[in-house]
């Protein structure tokens, strides 16, 4: 530790924003031999999210304590099952970096929502460690590490709307002109006080195969047409997991229909749910819409206004 004029210089610390995401377009195209599903999805990061602080610690920690995690939400696990620590382990495996780091996570993205909070946290940890260590890993290397941590982690690295393929590990930025039609668009996020297990949703989709899948050629054709055209974000919306989830969790379609009828919105489910979202037109009565959501799902349901980043 370096001292100067009697002042102890602080050890390096970085703060990284960890955004939530929504799936504007989600086409599950089939099941793979390894049990995962193939998909084509347009995913947009949001201006709303968590905050991850990573700080280098002093010497003397044992190897098993190289990384520690604290979180302000007691429901978030802070052991090796958390994707922040999984990402840290992957980073060390790739770089051999030996410094001890303490992570502090401020959680705003609700758990089990489909907003990608855990995956975003994992990607944020990789970005933080890359900066702290000075390793200078390029985007391709970070993406490969992120894919080891979780299927959705790579989508948070480009910093804008992306197209995600395969089981989620194939990520490319949405073309600039198409991304410009999404950025800045106001969005209302909302989630009931229950979650939908992602594995369950995909299992139910597979049980009804092939009727529930959208063939990959058709998915790519539709997406390419939207990208090449000039239609706005509202013309992109699609999710073929909705019928599967809605058959069991009827509170979701009931509220979405109310929002369509009463406010003229086009709300959708994000990912496998239970999180939903609605693109907000200019002048939308956000307080009135929020009141309608809380009336249907209870006063403690999650509602957040934000924008596509």
Catalytic residues: 21, 152
Contact predicate 164/39, CB 8 Å? yes
| Beta-bridge partners for 172 | 163
User: Nearest-5° angle of CA 188, CA 193, CA 199?
Assistant: 95
CB 267 within 8 A of CB 277: yes
Q: Contact, 191 vs 274, CB < 8 A?
A: yes
Stated as kind and residue range, the H or E segment containing 201 is: helix 198-207
The 10 Å Cβ neighbour count of residue 58 is 9
Tell me which residue of 112, 143, 116, 111 sits closest to 130, measured CA to CA.
143
> What is the signed CA dihedral for 215, 240, 26, 236, rounded to 10 degrees?
100
Contacts of residue 301, Cβ cutoff 8 Å, sequence gap at least 6 = 190, 191, 192, 193, 293, 294
Neighbours of 179 (CB within 10 A): 18
Q: Judge whether 150 and 133 are in contact, CB under 8 Å.
A: no
- Residue 180, SS3 per DSSP: helix
Looking only at the bridges linking them, the beta strands covering 101-106 and 67-71 are parallel
Residues 24/43, Cβ–Cβ less than 8 Å = yes
């Amino acid at each position: 530790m370096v001292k100067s004029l009697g002042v102890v210089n602080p050890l390096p610390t970085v703060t990284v924003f960890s955004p939530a995401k929504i799936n504007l377009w989600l086409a599950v195209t089939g099941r793979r031999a390894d049990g995962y599903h193939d998909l084509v999805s347009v995913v947009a990061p949001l201006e709303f999210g968590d905050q991850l602080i990573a700080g280098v610690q002093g010497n003397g920690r044992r190897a098993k304590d190289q990384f520690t995690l604290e979180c302000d939400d007691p429901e978030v696990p802070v052991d090796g099952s958390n994707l922040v620590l999984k990402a840290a382990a992957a980073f060390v495996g790739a770089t051999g970096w030996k410094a001890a780091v303490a992570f502090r996570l401020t959680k705003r993205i609700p758990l089990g929502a489909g907003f990608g909070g855990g995956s975003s946290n994992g990607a944020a940890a990789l970005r933080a460690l890359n900066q702290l260590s000075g390793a200078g890993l390029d985007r391709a290397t970070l993406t490969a590490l992120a894919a080891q941590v979780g299927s959705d982690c790579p989508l948070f690295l480009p910093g804008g709307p992306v197209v995600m393929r395969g089981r989620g590990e194939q990520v490319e930025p949405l073309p600039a002109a198409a991304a410009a039609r999404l950025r800045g668009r106001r969005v209302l996020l909302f989630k009931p006080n229950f979650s939908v297990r992602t594995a369950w949703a995909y299992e139910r989709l597979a049980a009804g195969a092939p009727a529930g899948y959208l063939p990959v050629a058709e998915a790519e054709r539709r997406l390419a047409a939207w990208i090449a055209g000039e239609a706005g974000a509202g013309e992109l919306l699609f999710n073929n997991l909705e019928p599967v989830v809605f058959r069991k969790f009827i509170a979701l379609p009931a509220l979405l229909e109310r929002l369509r009828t009463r406010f003229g919105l086009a709300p959708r489910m994000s990912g496998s749910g239970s999180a939903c979202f609605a693109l907000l037109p200019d002048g939308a009565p956000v307080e009135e819409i929020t009141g309608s959501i809380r009336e249907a799902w209870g006063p403690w349901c999650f509602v957040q206004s934000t924008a596509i980043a």
